[in-house]
Amino acid sequence: MAEKMELNEIEVWDGNYAASQALRQAQVDVVAAYPITPSTPIVESYGAYVANGYVDGEFVMVESEHAAMSGCVGAAAAGGRVATATSSQGFMLMIEVLYQASGMRLPIVLTVVNRAVASPLNVRGDHGDMYAGRDSGWVQIDAFNAQEAYDLTLCAFKIGEDMDVRLPVMVHQDGFVTSHTAQNVKPLQDDVAYNFIGKYQPYEEMLDFTKAVTYGAQTEEDWHYEHKAKQHKALMDSRDVIDRVFAEYKELTGREYNRVEKYFMDDAEVAIVALGSAVETARYAAEELRKEGIKAGVVAPRCFRPFAFDGIREALENVKAVSTLDRSCPMGAMGTLFNEVSAALYTTEKRPLVSNYIYGLGGRDFSVAEAKRIFKEQKAHADAGHLTTPIQQFSGLRGPKLGFFETKRGN
């Protein structure tokens, strides 16, 4: 172990610094990185930890995000604990290698500070990059605030490195709203955090010269199908490991995480499903509306992949109307979260009315007032027994109101 950095019981950290502290406490061996706003402080801080002797690792500066993930793949295949961070265009440049990392079953941890994808160029937060990674074979976990960015990054190492998983893990947080907002965070002491994750256990590492292994092999129609099916099974089977790691973290810290987070859902008649920092806004709005007699609730998929179809179905099957909030422009289709939630609800006997709201693109603020408006619109749907507005709307948009996929009789 490297020199300890003593921490107070409560620190004031933003989401970036919280994630970087988790990398330090995990004693990451290699961070290969190329800076991009708003994730730069994560890898920048790790470089400072290396320079100051707080971690016995290597900080490798490369020429692009594609090279950053390529470096991570090489270091992980060699048998190291590996991590990096990125956002937006950098994430897009990494995508080719994301598939390589998961296909090789390398437990790399990637902190994604979600940011809009150009064009036009925008450095503020939305979820276009998160959704772009949905089929890449990585576990995807979403943090709603700085405390969660810290906690879930620690959990990510333990999940990905589990011998029953051995898959890479992304931890998402909203650009600027979470990454640059200072909040109270209760970190663990260094030894406690490291012992929770455990010493890295290499598996079929390339530098073990007593056992020859191959990474990046080519398979055609004879074995490619079986390889991808096995990879999919590993991702689906990770659900039990995620649940177990979350339970262990709760026992250690008292902080509880679930693959599907539910707020005020015991008797909810209308609900919002959201990701990221909007979850806390929607929770506050729901709490306020309950004082007005509207039984509002919030559901948040903590794990975007593997998607908890069973948990989403259970959480929403008894509500009358559901609105899914997508912080990404779907470009000619329904929103990604809408499609996932609708697929889960289609298998229920009671099919709630489901509508889609596109919101917050390029960092546009999502207010409590707007969340209340959406809840009240869901209440109108529930009372009418059918959707009273288009299935898809752009929430908080200046100019003429945009609505698509008109309907008069449900979905």
Quote the pLDDT of residue 177.
Answer: 97
Domain boundary among 237, 253, 269: 253
In whole angstroms, give the CA distance from residue 300 to residue 323: 12
Which two three-digit tokens encode residue 47?
A: 């470089």
**For residue 237, what pLDDT is reported?**
96
Last residue of a domain, which of 235, 253, 271?
Answer: 253
pLDDT score recorded for residue 176: 98
Give the C-alpha separation, 88 to 395, whole Å. Answer: 22
Question: Are 245 and 267 found together in one domain?
Answer: no
pLDDT in tens, 132-174: 999 999 999 999 999 999 999 999 999 999 999 999 999 999 9
Q: Is residue 2 part of a domain?
A: no
* Sign of the C-alpha dihedral computed for residues 233, 28, 84 and 41 taken in this order: positive
Question: 219 and 126, same structural domain?
Answer: yes
Structural domain including 80 reads 11-253
- What confidence score (pLDDT) does residue 25 get? 98
Low-confidence ranges of the chain (pLDDT < 70): 1-2, 6, 406-411
DSSP state of 12: E
| CA distances to 69, 149, 187, 368 from 181, in Å | 27, 12, 17, 18
Q: Do 313 and 335 form a contact (C-beta atoms < 8 A)?
A: no
Q: What is the pLDDT of residue 306?
A: 98
Q: Are 239 and 291 in contact (CB under 8 A)?
A: no
* Cα 16 from chain centroid (whole Å): 14
Residues 154, 17 within the same domain: yes
Query: What is the C-alpha to C-alpha distance for residues 221 and 341, in angstroms, rounded to an integer?
Result: 33
- Structural domains of the chain, count: 2
Predicted pLDDT of residue 1: 54
| Domain final residue, candidates 253, 274, 306 | 253
